[in-house]
C-alpha cells in the first residue's frame, strides 16, 4: 500500500514557517478567518477542526469571533504544535501533531473541517480531502489562485512550498472529484490592510485596481492576477 506521508524536504519547509507569529501572519489570518465565517456561518459549525493550523492565528481569530463552540487543531510541525498550545486559545479543546494525511479521528466527528491555504502545499491533495470529508460533514477549502498568466511554464521549487497551482475551476473540480458538493464558492481579493502592509502607499492603488477588475470582469481578473478562492463543501450523501 502506498505510504501517504510528507517527505522530509517538505517537513523542513513547514518547520521553517514556524519561527513566531508576525504581523503579516496575523493580517492574513484575519482575512482567512473572515472568509470562513462568511461562507460557513449558515451551516453547522459547533465543532470545527483546522487541518494544518500553522501557528494558530486562524484559530485565535475564530475563537475571538466566537465561531465554533469547540475548536480542534492538527499540525504537522512540532514547533507549530507548541506555539498553538502556548497561545491558550479560549475555544481550543485539543491540538495534535499528525502525519500530514491520516486524521486521528473517527468518521463524522466534526461539523466542519477547515483546509485554509493547505492544499497548495500537499503532495497528495485528494487524500487530504478524502480524510477531511470522512471526519467532518462540511469542508471549507481556501487556496491562492496561482494558475494564471504569472505561472511559470516549468516548476521551480521555492521557499513557499507551493507545489500545486489552482484556478477557480480546477479547485472546484478537485473537490467534486473527491465526492464533495460545492455549496458556495467565492473569489476574494486580499484586504487593503494586506496591500498597505506589504507595499505601503502604493498598496492602495494595487488593491483598487485588482478589486475593480474582480468586480467588473472576474474571468479576466483571475487570469491576470492572483486572488484567493474559498469554498464550503458538503460530502455527497
155-188 pLDDT, tens digit per residue, is 988 778 899 999 999 999 999 999 999 999 999 9
Q: Is residue 88 part of a domain?
A: yes
Task: Give the whole-number percent of the chain exceeding pLDDT 90.
Answer: 84
Q: Quick: pLDDT tens for 72-113.
A: 999 999 999 999 999 999 999 999 999 999 999 999 999 999
Residue 77 belongs to some domain of the structure? yes
The torsion defined by the Cα of 162, 167, 172 and 177, in degrees rounded to 10, comes to -70
Residues 14-34 have pLDDT tens digits of 665 555 567 888 999 999 999
Rounded to an integer, what distance in angstroms lies between the CA atom of residue 233 and that of residue 133?
9
pTM (2 d.p.): 0.94
Give me the domain span that covers residue 139.
8-190+228-235
Three cell numbers written together for 232 = 464550503
Flag whether 135 is in a domain: yes
* 217 is a domain residue: no
Is 149 part of any domain? yes
Domain with 59 in it: what CATH number?
3.40.50.150
Calculate the alpha carbon distances from 230 to 10, 91, 95, 185 in Å: 24, 23, 24, 6
The answer to whether residue 214 sits within a structural domain is no
C-alpha–C-alpha distance, residues 48 and 111, integer Å:
6
Kind of pairing, strands 92-97 and 70-75? parallel
- Residue 99 inside a domain? The answer is yes
122-136 burial: b if 16+ Cβ within 10 Å, else e: bbebebbbbbbbbbb
Measured distance CA(50)–CA(195) in Å, rounded:
26
Cβ neighbours, 10 Å, residue 155: 10
| Domain tally, the chain | 1
How many angstroms separate the CA atoms of 111 and 135, rounded? Answer: 9
Secondary structure (3-state) at 105? coil
Has residue 207 got a pLDDT over 50?
Answer: yes
Q: How far is CA 159 from the centre of its chain?
A: 18
Is 130 part of a structural domain of the chain?
A: yes
Amino acid at each position: 500500500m502506498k505510504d501517504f506521508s510528507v517527505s522530509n524536504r517538505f517537513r523542513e519547509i513547514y518547520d521553517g514557517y514556524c519561527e513566531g507569529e508576525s504581523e503579516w501572519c496575523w493580517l492574513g489570518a484575519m482575512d482567512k478567518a473572515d472568509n470562513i465565517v462568511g461562507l460557513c456561518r449558515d451551516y453547522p459549525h459547533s465543532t470545527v477542526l483546522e487541518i494544518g493550523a500553522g501557528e494558530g492565528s486562524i484559530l485565535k481569530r475564530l475563537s475571538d469571533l466566537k465561531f465554533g463552540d469547540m475548536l480542534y487543531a492538527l499540525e504537522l510541525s512540532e514547533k507549530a504544535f507548541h506555539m498553538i498550545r502556548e497561545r491558550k486559545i479560549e475555544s481550543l479543546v485539543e491540538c495534535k501533531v499528525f502525519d500530514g494525511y491520516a486524521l486521528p479521528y473517527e468518521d463524522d466527528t466534526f461539523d466542519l473541517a477547515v483546509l485554509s491555504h493547505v492544499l497548495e502545499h500537499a503532495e497528495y491533495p485528494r487524500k487530504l480531502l478524502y480524510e477531511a470529508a470522512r471526519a467532518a460533514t462540511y469542508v471549507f477549502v481556501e487556496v491562492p489562485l496561482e494558475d494564471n498568466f504569472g505561472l511559470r511554464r516549468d516548476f521551480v521549487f521555492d521557499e513557499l512550498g507551493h507545489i500545486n497551482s489552482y484556478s477557480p475551476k480546477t479547485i472546484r473540480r478537485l473537490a467534486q472529484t473527491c465526492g464533495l458538493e460545492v455549496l458556495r464558492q467565492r473569489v476574494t481579493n486580499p484586504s487593503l490592510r494586506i496591500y498597505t502592509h506589504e507595499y505601503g502607499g502604493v498598496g492602495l492603488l494595487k488593491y483598487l485596481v485588482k478589486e475593480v477588475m474582480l468586480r467588473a470582469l472576474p474571468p479576466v481578473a483571475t487570469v491576470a492576477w492572483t486572488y484567493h478562492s474559498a469554498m464550503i463543501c458538503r460530502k455527497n450523501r
